[in-house]
Structure 1
Amino acid sequence: MKVEIRGNQILIDGYVNAVDRESRVLPSPRGYFKEKIIPKAFEKALSDSKNVDLLFNHKKDRNLGSIGNGNLELYEDNIGLRASATVTDEEVIQKARNGELRGWSFAFISKKDNWSDGQDGIQLRSIEELELLEVSILDQTPAYVGTSIEARGENTSLVEHRSHDEKVRVLEDKLDIEKRSAIVNKINEILGDK
């Protein structure tokens, strides 16, 4: 996740999920399993969806925007689900300044999945089709690369949350240290020649 602070807003960019990569071991009522999202599943979900919300820590009362609001862009590329968002929430901006943002997460309902036997008796679940409900920015480090929170939605489908922990880079809208150092060195070089 790359976080760029620009005055009273932040630009956040990064991968919500890398497709075709197994998660760490996840618990479920049917036992432990690993999971992966099949390529093009997010692309199809996005084409079928009218809107996807951007939340903070999966809290419905902390809506930071959406595709419909125009401050969230989601697309699937050859790596996975990529997100780009502009956030004006003061608390999230402060957490970005403090280096407290930890990564992305997403909530989904599985529409089509395939279970197979994996190594060491741990099953592998391949998500072929899903309904993408929301993506979240997190200020908590997930216990696992993929964490599981299960809740029943209005239509009694199982809503699942998966977190993706990645390094977060914060960039201020000022000259970074390398550029400043290069400028100072150049000035000293010019002044030294005179």
Structure 2
Amino acid sequence: MAELISGFAVVYNSETTIGNFFREKIAPGAFDRSLVERPDVLALWNHNYDRPLGRTAAGTLELRSDRIGLWFGLNPDDTTPDGITAIGTVRRQDVRGCSFGFTVTRETWHEGDDAQLPLRIVEEATLWEVTLTPMPAYPETSAALSRACTNASAATERIRRKAEAAHRLRGIV
């Protein structure tokens, strides 16, 4: 079975500080339009376009926006060095967060006061990439390893277990 890395590349309404210049949060559904109009999004290793791990157009990256945030499911190639690195570091939880590359198309700013930095709310943006990274700007993001199981392989496994159980009942081992 193939390895699957999944989690939330974006957590909506989660606030972070960007470069100690301003605070930022992503509004729910900020990427919905982008996912429809520009459905080919890359999965990268640490924002490096020379290290692709998957892409939606190839069927190796799935993205879904829900009430929590932007969920991703990534099936990295375990025959490539970067795929092996991604699987290994996420498995060990050395990497357990994500980041994302985007262009803001609609935003709202709220001025801070002497004690608070200004707040940018990203209301709509074009999503270019999601990335696995050991140092995410948004610490609430997540990445974890699970086993990907296609319908065909799941069905094959169920048939194998049933046949095994039937053989045990008949005393055939």
- Whether TM-score is above 0.5 comes out as yes
RMSD: 2.3
Aligned to 1:81, the other structure's residue is in SS state: strand
**Distance change (3 Å), C-alpha of 1:80 and 1:116:** same
Aligned ranges 1:43-58 → 2 under 5 Å: 43-58=32-47
Query: What runs of 5+ residues in structure 1 fail to find an aligned partner?
Result: 1-5, 147-162, 174-194
Aligned to 1:93: 87
Deviations 1:74-118 (A, max 9, x none): 111011111111112222223234432221110011111111113
Deviations 1:131-158 (A, max 9, x none): 10100112x234xxx2xxxxxxxxxxxx
Aligned ranges 1:124-139 → 2 under 5 Å: 124-138=119-133
**Distance change (3 Å), C-alpha of 1:125 and 1:43:** same
TM-score (ref. length: structure 1): 0.65
Aligned to 2:19: 27
Query: What runs of 5+ residues in structure 2 fail to find an aligned partner?
Result: 78-82, 149-173
8 A Cα contact 2:6 2:144, kept in partner: no
Aligned to 1:15: 8
Deviation at 1:48, TM superposition (A): 1.8
8 A Cα contact 2:108 2:120, kept in partner: yes
TM-score (ref. length: structure 2): 0.72
**2:38 corresponds to which letter in structure 1?**
S
Percent of residue pairs bearing the same amino acid type: 32
Aligned to 2:85, the other structure's residue is in SS state: helix
**1:73 corresponds to which letter in structure 2?**
E
**2:9 corresponds to which letter in structure 1?**
V
Deviations 1:18-56 (A, max 9, x none): 112222x2227xxx2111111121112211213100111
Which structure is higher in RCO with an 8 Å CA cutoff and minimum separation 6? 2
Runs of 4+ in 1 over 3 A off after TM superposition: 96-99, 163-173
